[in-house]
Structures are given as C-alpha cells and as structure tokens.
Amino acid sequence: MNFHLLIENLTNPALLFFVLGIIAVYLKSDLVIPHNSSKFISLYLLFAIGFKGGQELSHENFTTEVAWSMLFGIGISLIIPLYSFFILKNKLNVFDAGAIAAAYGSVSAVTFVTAVSYLESQQILLHGHMVAIMALMESPAIIIGLFLISIFNKEDKGSIKKLSVIKHSFTNGSVLLILGSLVIGYVANAKQAEGIKPFTNDLFKGFLAIFLLDMGITSGRKLKSFFALGWFPVVFAIAIPLINGCVIAFLSQYITNDISNRFMFAILAASASYIAVPAAMKVSVPKANPGLFLPMALAVTFPVNITIGMPLYFLIVQYI
C-alpha cells in the first residue's frame, strides 16, 4: 500500500509539471510563465478552493467538532513558530530565525490545494470548514514571528514595523480572497452557484498543473544559491515539516475521526508559506534574508510534502 501510494503521487500530472519546471531551468530553457498569468492563476486557485469550500460549508452544521477543529488549527499555527524559532536561533540570526519560523507556522495555500486534488484522487471529499481553518492559520504565525524577533532583537528596535505586519497579516490579498470566496460560496444561492461550477471545478486541475510548472521554474532558479548556504537550512526544511505533519496526523484523532480532516490538518502543519509570509517580512523585517526562507519553503519543503509527505500522512490517518 505504501509503495502504491508513493508511485501514484509521483506520477501525478501536477507534480510532473513541477519537475518539468526545474528541469527547464537546468537545461537553460527560455520556458517561462508570464508574471501576470502566474498571478492570475494563483488568484484563481485561491478563489476556486474558497468558493468550493464555502459551498461545502453551507451544507454542514456548525458542531462542537468544527469549533474544536478551528481552535486546534489556530493552536498549531501558534505553537509551531515558537519551537521552530528556538531551533533556528541556534544557527541563524534573529531576523532569519523569526522569518523562517513564521513561514513554517503559517500555511501554504498551494500545498493545501494540491492536497485537495490528492484527496479527490482517493475519492474523498474535503469538508468546507477546513478551508476556513486554513485561512485562520495564515495570520497567527506571522504575528508570533514578529513578536519573537522584537523580543530577541537587542540591537535595532526600530527595524521592525509592528503595526504594518499585523495589518498585512489580516489584509493580505491571499487571506482576503480565500476568506471572501468562502463567505460568498457559503451565502450564494445553490442554483446560481451551478453557473460557475465548470469554472471552479472542471478547470481546476489544469490551472493547478500550470501553476506548479511556474513554481518549478521559480524553485529551480533558487536552488543553486540556496544550497551554498550550508546543510542546516536543508535539513530543517526536510525534517521539521515531516515531523510536524506526522505528529499532527496522529494527534488529530483526538479532535476528529474524519480521515480527510485529519489528513488536511497534517498538510497544514507540514506546509510552509511562500506567499503571505515573504510578502509580510519584506515590508516589516527587511533584514530577514528572502534568499533563505523562500527557497526553504518553496524549493525544499513543498516538493518533499507533495512527494513523500502526502502518502505518509495519508497512511497515518488511515491506520492510526
């Protein structure tokens, strides 16, 4: 079963397009996805997953389990950056440790979207409230990362714009779009929503494949300079997400018995933000090195999660 799931995920078209992007860079190809097209596709993915989640959420009852699940998700995004920061601080400066901790405490919407596709390949539907939980998990880690930097930065207290990062974490475009789409999907008339179903459902996997091709190209360009920084970031970017995912896959049984919910909790715990957090840190913590935390999340953690992580977390939630 383990080998079968691994092979199935390795031959997923979306993953193969990601690999193609990396290969294109090393072949020095001129293959490139135009920036505006890439931005549109990322917005489309957030819109589609939010709207579909809202539609699913409209058919669910708000139960005690849903409430506990939301608290569990927020708790994950608060705890992970705390212990990650102290691990990272042993090898890196305070600014980089805080930015990386925030990235690994926050979530990757694209990893989430890829995981939804993985569940669909197993004929399992996602519950709508998990989309809301993903959106809720974006901001807390950014705020925790900011305050950790503020507390441990003894040299330059003026280097962090606290108010701007807090505002950005709540008004970030990706957070706003997915939350807004979730609300619209929830309140939309079911018959009217059918009119855009071909756009939100039928085109989804194709757009995901093109987006991952673009992610592969971006990752390939950053890999060489990233590996020059030493072994520690690479080991952290592989080991910590896998540990987080496996631990949460196990602990989630105390919150919910639903396999899809437990799997998505593991994915959220294991993923690392390479959109919201880098954007927030660029504005608020300019001393943090994007050449470090962005490749860690995008070029190492992301492919590890979609190749090894997903089959592993799925096996844990199935058999434990």
Amino acid at 140: P
Cβ within 8 Å of residue 28, ≥6 positions away: none
Both tokens assigned to 308: 């090894």
Cα distance between residue 235 and residue 296, in whole Å: 10
Helices (H), 188-287: 190-193, 197, 204-227, 231-251, 259-270, 276-284
Q: Which amino acid is at 276?
A: A
Overall number of domains in the chain: 1
Residue-level pLDDT at 1: 45
Inter-CA distances, 281 with 12, 140, 174, 204, Å: 33, 14, 15, 30
Is residue 30 in a domain?
no
In this prediction, residue 7 carries a pLDDT of 67
pLDDT tens-place string over residues 178-194: 778 888 988 988 888 88
Could you tell me the CATH number of the domain that includes residue 254? 1.20.1530.20
- Among residues 43, 209, 48, 68, the alpha carbon closest in space to that of 129 is found at 68
Rg (CA), the chain: 19
Within a domain: 125:
yes
Both tokens assigned to 170: 């709540």
Range of the domain at 67: 2-25+36-319
Residue 194, exposed/middle/buried by CB under 10 A (0-12, 13-18, 19+)? exposed
Question: For residue 58, is it within any domain?
Answer: yes
Low-confidence ranges of the chain (pLDDT < 70): 1-9, 155-175, 225, 283
Nearest to 241 by CA among 268, 270, 273: 270
- SS3 at position 148: helix
Tell me if 94 sits within 8 A of 149, measured CB to CB. Answer: yes
**C-alpha–C-alpha distance, residues 188 and 180, integer Å:** 12
| Amino acid 172: pLDDT | 62
Q: Distance between CA 248 and CA 268 in Å, rounded?
A: 9
pTM of the shown model: 0.79
- CA pair distance 207, 276, nearest whole angstrom: 20
pLDDT digits (tens, 9 = 90+) for 49-90: 788 878 877 877 889 999 999 999 999 999 999 999 999 999
Tell me which DSSP letter residue 274 carries: S
Note whether residue 181 is domain-resident. yes
Answer yes or no: are the C-beta atoms of 282 and 218 closer than 8 Å. no
> 61 lies in a domain?
yes
Give me the pLDDT at residue 270, please.
Answer: 98
- Residues 6 or more apart whose Cβ sits within 8 Å of residue 293: 96, 99, 100, 103, 277, 278, 281
Please give the pLDDT value at position 168. 58
